[in-house]
């Protein structure tokens, strides 16, 4: 059975690439099979061109002038991943996420900078290519209803990125949820504890985002299954995607949405089968198009192996 593969060459088949799958896990991975290494060596490396570096502060100042309510919160920075093969099986592999620290200001000033491509360096290695960009790790959830439809949101016209586009529920794993404000320097045992908590936050955060964005009770959601990482071609934005079963029917989820905590970020909730998802895919941000591709790979793997979702 195929459990995972590194797909550094898989690109959307559009005239212009919209996404790249950095990692595909079509069989899905549980929390025990995904871990995190939180280390300063995965932080962003400042660009040697000081004039380019200075545009980060300039971009941020302009954004704050336009929207004084902007907050420069900390985010986990995606610095790549590694695969650990279990010694007793050639089929079982764990994923180890390499995570550093970044913040929203640096994201605005590098990935969202109009000259973002100047922060990249020529390399076939995705981590090295983006070593000067913020690359906060986002997340997204393929939430499947009990009647086998998938939840999609239409973003508000007032959001900072991709207004009015279709997206899967999601956001970011948050350092603040763990009380992290900097890297630890207190010894190996403390670092192991931090890594464990960061690993748990990868899964806890996606449940939290789904509850906040679509309003369903956490008790109606199954355990998240990690299915891979997508990278948006535009400004190399990475996002981890998860598959989550919901015990509610589509109409019940629509009723929950009216009381969602973060519903201001979106204007409408839809539930639809995969065939309809394929039709609206061009109206999704590239990283979410990649999320759809990861979901399709998972569904195809299940069909091939005659498993039941």
3-state secondary structure 198-255: HHHHHHHHHHHHHHHHHCCCHHHECCCEEEEEEEECHHHCEEEEEEEEECCCHHHHHH
H or E element: which one contains 59? helix 50-66
Position 10 scores a pLDDT of 44
Where does the chain show beta strands of DSSP type E? 19-29, 34-38, 74-85, 93-103, 138-144, 150-155, 166-167, 170-171, 225-232, 238-245, 266-272
DSSP class of residue 91?
S
Other Cβ atoms less than 10 A from the Cβ of 187: the count is 8
Q: Can you tell me the distance from the alpha carbon of 88 to that of 107, in angstroms, rounded to the nearest whole number?
A: 41
Nearest-angstrom CA–CA distance, 59 and 108: 7
Mean pLDDT by 10 residues, the chain (309 residues): 42 64 96 96 98 98 92 97 73 88 98 97 94 98 98 85 90 96 80 95 98 96 98 96 98 94 83 95 96 97 73
Residue 151 tokens read as 């939840």
Residues 6+ apart with CB under 8 A from 182: 101
Distance spanning both ends of the chain, measured CA to CA: 15
Cβ pair 237, 287 in contact under 8 A: yes
Question: Which of 210, 202, 197, 209 is closest to 227 using CA atoms?
Answer: 202
Q: How far are the Cα atoms of 153, 221, 276, 298 from residue 302, in angstroms, in the given order?
A: 26, 20, 20, 6
φ, ψ of residue 197 to 5 degrees: the values are: -70, -35
CA distance 127 to 135: 10
Q: Give the separation between CA 268 and CA 11, rounded to whole angstroms.
A: 29
């Amino acid at each position: 059975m195929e459990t995972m593969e590194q797909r550094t060459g898989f690109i959307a088949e559009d005239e212009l690439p919209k996404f790249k799958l950095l990692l595909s896990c079509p069989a899905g991975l549980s929390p025990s099979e995904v871990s995190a290494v939180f280390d300063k060596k995965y932080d962003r490396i400042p660009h040697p061109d000081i004039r380019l570096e200075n545009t980060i502060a300039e971009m941020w100042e302009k954004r704050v002038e336009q929207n004084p309510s902007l907050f420069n919160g900390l985010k986990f920075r995606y610095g790549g991943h590694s695969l650990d093969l279990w010694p007793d099986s050639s089929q079982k592999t764990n994923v180890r996420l390499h995570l550093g620290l970044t913040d929203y200001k640096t994201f605005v000033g590098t990935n969202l900078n109009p000259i973002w491509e100047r922060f990249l360096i020529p390399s076939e290695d995705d981590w090295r290519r983006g070593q000067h960009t913020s690359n906060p790790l986002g997340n997204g959830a393929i939430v499947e209803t009990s009647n086998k439809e998938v939840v999609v949101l239409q973003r508000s016209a007032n959001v900072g990125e991709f207004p009015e586009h279709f997206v899967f529920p999601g956001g970011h794993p948050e350092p603040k949820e763990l009380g992290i404000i900097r890297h630890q320097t207190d010894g190996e045992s403390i670092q192991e504890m931090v890594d464990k908590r960061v690993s748990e936050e990868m899964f806890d955060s996606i449940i939290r985002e789904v509850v906040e964005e679509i309003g369903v009770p956490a008790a109606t959601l199954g355990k998240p299954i990690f299915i891979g990482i997508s990278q948006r071609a535009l400004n190399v934005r990475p996002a981890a995607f998860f598959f989550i079963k919901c015990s509610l029917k589509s109409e019940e989820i629509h009723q929950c949405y009216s009381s969602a905590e973060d519903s201001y970020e979106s204007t409408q909730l839809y539930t639809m089968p995969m065939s309809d998802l394929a039709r609206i895919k061009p109206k999704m941000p590239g990283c979410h198009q990649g999320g759809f591709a990861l979901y399709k790979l998972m569904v195809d793997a299940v069909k091939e192996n005659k498993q039941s979702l």
